[in-house]
Structure 1
Amino acid sequence: MPHDNMKTEYILKTTCPAGRGIVAAVATFLSDKGCYISEQSQFDDQDSGKFFMRTVFHFEGEDLGDEVRAGFAEVATAFKMEWSLVNACAPMKTIIMVSKADHCFADLLYRKNKGDLNMEITAVVSNHQDLRPMAEREGFRFVHLPVNKDNKRQQEKALLEIVRETGTELVVLARYMQILSDELCKDLAGRAINIHHSFLPGFKGARPYYQAHERGVKLIGATAHYVTGDLDEGPIIEQAVQTVDHTMYPEQLTAAGRDTETVALARAVRLHMEHRVFVDGNKTVVFK
């Protein structure tokens, strides 16, 4: 998100117990460092007693990003904050995981190439070979990690090695049709997004469009969520829906659902890459 004057923009995310003086302390600290705050969003969750804030700023003079990062620790300590400071202009290093379906992968590539998603694809990882030509045509490294019940943990360790080796910050499961182990989910907590082809929490697990058809639903949807050890139960980032009717059989519902899947996943990936999502227990706070 480059600023009009081409100065580097930074995003400061803070979470802490709710209380007085938080906004003033952050704003004063940044102002004293010569920062111009161009955007600020905040939310006080009365259920959890937590305060969430996203602040976008740039320097009006010399760029003192390192100095702000070092000095903000004192403010954070005073308010018991969890915080992060990132360069908003830097592309997010991302691994995309796929199986055989190509629609979500193709949509992410289109949006990346159009400049809608600020990401650097470090690898495309798959348990099948079907999408290798698509990945390699775009010049991306393709890693085939076939999974069976005997080698699952070994292949997950290989994935984590790729994450470490490439400095990957986000893993996107673009219709990757394998259940991740609890260990891998913990290793990737808060940095792995899955698209479930259903409007959760309804119709979990496999073949949700067939479940939806059996129930005669009038709306189908898709849910993008962070991956956790509880299948299809992770914090929801984004959802999309569309109307359907009694004339549509599971095959037609599946075809129609591809649109909602691509929309929900792309929105969730963008929100995460713009550091607009805070995890709050099993929910999320999303500043749009």
Structure 2
Amino acid sequence: MDSSSQTDVDRARLLITCADRPGVVAAVSQLLYEQGANVVDSDQHTEPDDLRFFMRLEFDLPGLQARLSSLASAFQPVAERFGMQWQLTPAARVKRMAIFVSKQDHCLQELLWLLKKGELAAHIPLVVSNHPDAREVVAPFGVPLHHIPVTSETKAQAEASALELMRAHDVDLIVLARYMQILSADFITRFGKPIINIHHSFLPAFVGANPYAQAHARGVKLIGATAHYVTAELDAGPIIDQDVHRVGHRDAVADLVRIGRRVERNVLARAVAWHLEDRVLLHGNKTVVFA
């Protein structure tokens, strides 16, 4: 094993959320020092409205895998003293990500390409689609595509089949890469893990279907895309990333779609990468992103 691989094996990430008060950073740093850990990256933020404190630490600890449980036990009293919500994750643990897609495959291709280039820290055990069109796209990457047709009459059965696949493949995260089906509240609850969606609009404007046509009809000068966590309320989950591109009166709907695809690919890729690297902390219906 080379030195870089050993560093990954010995590296962990600690996410913390609690009320802001003196001594939080000192207590965490002291605990890690006593355990023999070396902090290699640290980010923190306090929300001014409610004085909620957020922190992300990366640290190296020799023999991390064998010591992870004892480290968590040692940290528990500190967490209780400050009322922390916290998460301790080995950096070497690669999350298992399922991608849901319909006919438009540009976001799917971007994620698969980044994975192939080693720029996305994930394992993709499967792609799920309500159309068979993407089979040729995923085949060169060695990723199986599961075609699950969805109609209004079969939606419940289709979601049950998809949930069964998620459990069978021990999926940690679902990414909706232009999956043009609305997931039911029951599916979201039963899956019980993060779901990231790319919406081809700069939310909260132009929610629902055909946002580029809506934007063109409104004569907008900026179009954008929004990556957000999925909740039961349509297109209303916590936003992870957004971006925009300037357009003008000469741009038709087709031009907006073409330009928008480029924005969508970039926004979704960033949001997914940040989630995989444990850089996103939830704060109600908002996020704190240590990018």
Residue type of the alignment partner of 2:23:
G
Measured against aligned partners, the alpha-carbon deviations of 1:75-133 in whole angstroms (never above 9, x if no partner) come to 21222211111111222110000000010000111111111111100110011111012
1:133 is aligned to 136
Say whether residues 1:111 and 2:114 are aligned partners. yes
The structure 1 residue matched to 2:285, chosen from 269, 272, 282, is 282
Q: Is the 8 A contact 1:186 1:228 kept in 2?
A: no
Q: Percent identity?
A: 44
2:6 is aligned to 6
Q: How does 1:137-216 map to 2 (within 5 A)?
A: 137-188=140-191, 191-216=194-219
Residue type of the alignment partner of 2:276:
M
Deviates more, 1:194-203 or 1:161-170: 161-170
Residue type of the alignment partner of 2:102:
S
Q: How does 1:1-288 map to 2 (within 5 A)?
A: 6-7=6-7, 8-59=10-61, 61-63=62-64, 64-188=67-191, 191-288=194-291
Measured against aligned partners, the alpha-carbon deviations of 1:8-62 in whole angstroms (never above 9, x if no partner) come to 2100111122222111111111111110001111111132332111110001x44
Name structure 1 gaps, 5 residues minimum: none
Q: Is the 8 A contact 1:190 1:227 kept in 2?
A: no
Deviates more, 1:133-142 or 1:210-219: 133-142
2 CA distance for matches of 1:181 and 1:168? 18
Q: Which secondary structure does the structure 1 equivalent of 2:59 belong to?
A: strand
TM-score by length of 1: 0.95
1 CA distance for matches of 2:48 and 2:107? 36
Measured against aligned partners, the alpha-carbon deviations of 1:219-244 in whole angstroms (never above 9, x if no partner) come to 11000000011111111000111111
Q: Is the 8 A contact 1:11 1:88 kept in 2?
A: yes
Cα offset for 1:281?
0.8
Q: Which secondary structure does the structure 2 equivalent of 1:122 belong to?
A: coil
Q: Which secondary structure does the structure 2 equivalent of 1:55 belong to?
A: strand
Q: Which secondary structure does the structure 2 equivalent of 1:148 belong to?
A: coil
Aligned length: 286
Residue type of the alignment partner of 2:43:
S
Residue type of the alignment partner of 2:145:
F
* Regions of 4+ moved over 6 Å: none
Q: CA RMSD in A?
A: 1.7
Q: Which secondary structure does the structure 2 equivalent of 1:6 belong to?
A: helix
Residue type of the alignment partner of 2:68:
G
